[in-house]
Structure 1
Amino acid sequence: MNVDIGNALDTSPGVSRDGLERLDRRVERAHGRIQEGRERGEHGFAALNLPERCDPREVEDTVAPFGDPRAVVTVGIGGSALGAATFSAALESDVDAYFLDNVDPAHARRLLSSLPLEETVVNVVSKSGTTAETLANFLVVRDAMQRASVDWTDRTFVTTGPSGNLRELAAKHDLPALDVPEGVPGRFAALSPVGLACAAIQGHDVEAILEGGSAAADRLDRAGAGSLFETPAYAYGAVTYALAQRGAGVNAVMPYAESLETFAEWFAQLWAESLGKDGLGQTPARALGATDQHSQLQLYRAGPRDKLVTLLRPTERPDLEIPETDLEGLSYLGGSTLGELLDAEFEATEASLAAAGRPSVRIEIDRVDERSLGELLYAMEAACVLHGDLASVDTFVQPAVEWGKRAARGLLGGGEFPEAEAVRDKETLIVDGN
Structure 2
Amino acid sequence: MLVYDYSNLIEENIGKEGISSNFLETNKGLLQEIDNEIKAKRQDGSFGFMELPFHQPELNEIKKMASDARKKWENIIVLGIGGSSLGAMAIHQALHHPFYNLLNAEKRNGYPRIFFMDNVDPELVQGILDVVDIKHTLFLVISKSGKTAETLSHFLFFLEKVRKQGDPIKQIIIITDPEKGPLREIARSEGFLTFSVPPNVGGRYSVLSAVGLVPVAFLGIDIDALLAGAQAMAKRCETIENPAYLFALIQFLFLQKGKNIHVMFPYAQALLGMADWWRQLWAESLGKEGNGPTPVKALGVTDQHSQLQLYMDGPRDKIITFITVKDYGNDVFIPHSFKDFPDLAYLGGHTFNELIQAEQLATEVALTKAGCPNGKFVLDNIDAFTLGEFIYCLELATVSCGLFMGINPLNQPGVELGKRYTRALMGEPHFQEEKREIETLKCVHAKV
Range class of TM-score, shorter chain: over 0.9
Matched, 1:100 2:87: no
Q: Tell me the TM-score normalised to structure 2 length.
A: 0.91
Aligned partner of 1:19 in structure 2 is 23
Query: Measured at CA, do residues 364 and 419 of structure 1 come closer, stay the same or move farther in structure 2, by a change above 3 Å?
Result: farther
Match of 1:357, SS state, is coil
| 1:27-64 Cα shifts (integer Å, max 9, x gaps) | 1210111112112222xx11111100124323223444
Query: Measured at CA, do residues 418 and 310 of structure 1 come closer, stay the same or move farther in structure 2, by a change above 3 Å?
Result: farther
Gaps of 5+ in 1: none
Give, in whole Å, the separation in 1 of the partners of 2:118 and 2:247: 29
Give, in whole Å, the separation in 1 of the partners of 2:311 and 2:433: 41
Note the C-alpha offset of 1:3: 0.4
Matched, 1:6 2:7: yes
Give, in whole Å, the separation in 1 of the partners of 2:135 and 2:444: 48
Determine which of 92, 96, 121 is the counterpart of 2:138: 121
Give, in whole Å, the separation in 2 of the partners of 1:217 and 1:357: 33
Determine which of 215, 218, 230 is the counterpart of 2:232: 215
Aligned alpha-carbon RMSD (Å): 1.6
Question: Quick one: which amino acid aligns to residue 413 of structure 1?
Answer: G
Note the C-alpha offset of 1:337: 0.3
Matched, 1:264 2:264: no
Matched, 1:37 2:41: yes
Superposed, 1:160-199 pairs within 5 Å as: 160-161=176-177, 162-199=179-216
Aligned partner of 1:323 in structure 2 is 335
Aligned partner of 1:150 in structure 2 is 166
Determine which of 123, 128, 134 is the counterpart of 2:151: 134
Note the C-alpha offset of 1:182: 2.0
Question: Quick one: which amino acid aligns to residue 80 of structure 1?
Answer: S
Superposed, 1:285-434 pairs within 5 Å as: 285-317=296-328, 318-327=330-339, 328-329=341-342, 330-414=344-428, 415-416=430-431, 418-424=433-439, 425=441, 427-432=443-448
Question: Quick one: which amino acid aligns to residue 342 of structure 1?
Answer: I
Note the C-alpha offset of 1:16: 1.1
Q: Is the 8 A contact 1:66 1:155 kept in 2?
A: no
Q: Is the 8 A contact 2:420 2:431 kept in 1?
A: no
Determine which of 245, 248, 255 is the counterpart of 1:234: 245
Q: Tell me the TM-score normalised to structure 1 length.
A: 0.94
Give, in whole Å, the separation in 2 of the partners of 1:359 and 1:297: 13
Give, in whole Å, the separation in 2 of the partners of 1:375 and 1:428: 51
Query: Measured at CA, do residues 357 and 426 of structure 1 come closer, stay the same or move farther in structure 2, by a change above 3 Å?
Result: farther
| 1:72-99 Cα shifts (integer Å, max 9, x gaps) | 1110111011111111111226222111
Question: Quick one: which amino acid aligns to residue 51 of structure 1?
Answer: P
Q: Is the 8 A contact 1:62 1:177 kept in 2?
A: no
Give, in whole Å, the separation in 1 of the partners of 2:209 and 2:225: 13
Q: Percent identity, please.
A: 36
Give, in whole Å, the separation in 1 of the partners of 2:433 and 2:391: 37
Query: Measured at CA, do residues 284 and 422 of structure 1 come closer, stay the same or move farther in structure 2, by a change above 3 Å?
Result: farther
Give, in whole Å, the separation in 2 of the partners of 1:296 and 1:426: 39
Determine which of 38, 41, 61 is the counterpart of 1:58: 61
Question: Quick one: which amino acid aligns to residue 121 of structure 1?
Answer: L
Matched, 1:159 2:160: no
Give, in whole Å, the separation in 1 of the partners of 2:253 and 2:434: 35
Give, in whole Å, the separation in 2 of the partners of 1:316 and 1:34: 34
Q: Is the 8 A contact 2:169 2:193 kept in 1?
A: no
Give, in whole Å, the separation in 2 of the partners of 1:58 and 1:246: 49
Matched pairs, number? 423
Note the C-alpha offset of 1:419: 4.4
